[in-house]
Amino acid sequence: MAFFSAMPAWGQALFATLFTYAMTAAGAALVFFSKKFDSKALTLAEGLAAGIMIAASFFSLLLPAADRLETAQKGRAAFVLTAGFLAGGAFIMLSDIVLSRTERFRQGAERGGALMCAAMTLHNIPEGFAVGVAFGCVSGDSGALISAAMLALGIGVQNFPEGLCVALPLRKSGMGAGRAFLIGQASGLAEVPAGVLGALAVGFISALLPWVLAFSAGAMIAVVCSELIPSGFSESKLLPSVGIVFGFSLMMFLDVFLG
């Protein structure tokens, strides 16, 4: 612990975000066992992924953004959250239109995979920022250092099911396990440079975070509505509903308990 506390803030942020990325990769690695699941289990898991992403968009993104805007005027706070959320949703919808017109992404699995990875990457960027900002604000305070480390631990635990959220639907749609894993773990890589940047530019990133958080929330909700929900409910209503409720509950518990 003494070695870690003696590191510069950017080094601490780098170490912490490498851990959060590793947790994303570990979750995505479960896709190698997907052949042991039948179609009903995969449908349930797809609903679980949808529930996790919906909960993460609120508890990990919109709620922290609102907390950071607590001292701002209500009109400004409402504008930042609404405008950021709408921009994130519009980004995914426009991306879907562009990808659907691109020859390489005409297949549903290819386009859906690109959108899932993009949305989860956007979600991970503000999380990396948050970790970096937390370590950048330590300034020798041991209590603040412990809080920053716990934040990284909490985000890492949350990232485990999120890696599976990206990889499993791709595997279900017919993509090879290795490729699905590579795409799933890639979404977590964004946290590493974002964390270092957050530690190096605490003031600027702190002011920008509410916009980024709201934007990422809009992107995640758009992907859930356009990809996961239609795919899951095409085969059954009960199983994906159970998955969504349980996934939302799981992510809500992790965010509140570890937050």
Contact 53, 173 (CB under 8 A): no
Sequence-separated contacts (24+) of 86-89 with Cβ below 8 Å: 86/218, 87/214, 87/215, 87/218, 88/122, 88/214, 88/215, 88/216, 88/217, 88/218, 88/219, 88/220, 88/221, 88/222, 89/218, 89/219, 89/221, 89/222
- Residue spans of the domains in the chain: they are 45-258
d(Cα 163, Cα 220) in Å, to the nearest integer? 14
Tracing tokens 């937050």 back to the chain, one arrives at 259
Type of residue numbered 104: R
pLDDT in tens, the chain (259 residues): 677 777 888 888 999 999 999 999 998 898 887 666 566 776 777 788 788 878 878 887 788 888 888 877 888 889 999 999 999 889 878 877 776 666 555 555 556 666 767 777 777 787 788 788 778 877 676 766 776 787 788 778 778 877 877 787 777 777 788 888 988 888 889 889 988 988 887 767 777 888 888 888 888 788 788 777 877 787 778 888 998 999 899 888 877 776 6
- What distances in angstroms separate CA 64 from CA 14, 78, 135, 206, one per listed residue? 22, 14, 17, 12
Q: What does pTM read for this prediction?
A: 0.68
Beta strands in the chain (DSSP E): none
